[in-house]
Amino acid sequence: MSSKSQIFKNLTKVNNTPLSKPRLLDSCWQSTNPIDDFTKALELAGGEAIIVDREKDFNSLIDRYFSSTTKIIDTRKYYLEQDKLDKNQTWDLSIIEGKIGVAENGAVWVDWNDNYPRTIITLSKNILIILSKDTIVSNMQEAYSKIDLSNISYGTFLAGPSKTADIEQSLVIGAHGAIGLKIFLI
């Protein structure tokens, strides 16, 4: 048993209360055009949404936007084992699948079951998320209601590239992760 598994086993002995989702408000903002609202909110966060109609377009758009990219990891095609991964490995581009898009703030819910290391999000220079247009909801409350936490080991909402203004109130992009985030809406 790994040390991580042992820690979780010990924590379960101490507190076996299941996690609960946050309490949702009864009324919240509703989008009249989720795709447009999502695109605008994502742009405000520093990301970019591109509508893709066909698989052929998908490959040509990758060539167009990431032509100088050499180190690519596509989580839709390959299985990576965490312990076989170089902990200092960086990628020019990581391609991951998004599960839910949120029109209210341009965020995308990404999750997986230990198939890929979490470091993909922070050690990639650019992130490309593939997201179905049908999965865009109006607000965070709707997104929370669609997330099933029972079968995932890690999940996060991503909205735009990494940025901070903590130091001297100067905006720094890519401080804690990717310098670019694009979302292909399929």
What is the length of the chain?
A: 186
User: What's the chain's Rg over C-alpha atoms?
Assistant: 18
pLDDT at position 159 is: 86
Catalogue the E-assigned strands of the chain: 48-51, 72-74, 91-97, 100-102, 107-112, 124-131, 136-137, 154-158, 163-164, 172-173, 180-185
Task: Look at residue 163 and tell me if it is in a domain.
Answer: yes
Choose the weakest-confidence range: 17-21, 98-102, 121-125, 169-173: 17-21
What counts of helices (H) and strands (E) characterise the chain? 5, 11
Residue 142 Cα to chain centre, angstroms = 17
pLDDT digits (tens, 9 = 90+) for 29-88: 788 999 999 999 999 888 999 999 876 677 788 888 888 888 887 777 655 555 555 656
Task: Look at residue 125 and tell me if it is in a domain.
Answer: yes
Domain interval for residue 115: 30-76+88-185
Nearest to 109 by CA among 100, 120, 117, 119: 100
Instruction: Report the distance separating Cα 56 and Cα 51, nearest Å.
Output: 13
pLDDT digits (tens, 9 = 90+) for 127-160: 999 999 999 999 999 999 999 888 887 888 988 8
pLDDT at 11 over 80: no
pLDDT digits (tens, 9 = 90+) for 85-118: 565 677 888 888 999 999 999 999 998 765 667 7
Task: Look at residue 13 and tell me if it is in a domain.
Answer: no
pLDDT at position 53 is: 80
Encode 137-147: b = buried (16+ Cβ within 10 Å), e = exposed.
bbbbbbbbeee
Task: Look at residue 127 and tell me if it is in a domain.
Answer: yes
Instruction: Report the distance separating Cα 153 and Cα 111, nearest Å.
Output: 8
Tokens of 168: 């001297």
Task: Look at residue 25 and tell me if it is in a domain.
Answer: no
CB atoms within 10 A of CB 29: 11
pLDDT at position 85 is: 57
Nearest to 106 by CA among 173, 180, 44: 44
pLDDT at position 81 is: 53
Decide: residue 65, CB within 10 A, 0-12 exposed, 13-18 middle, 19+ buried.
middle
Task: Look at residue 14 and tell me if it is in a domain.
Answer: no
Q: What is the CATH number of the domain that holds 51?
A: 3.40.50.10420
pLDDT at position 133 is: 95
Number of domains the chain contains: 1
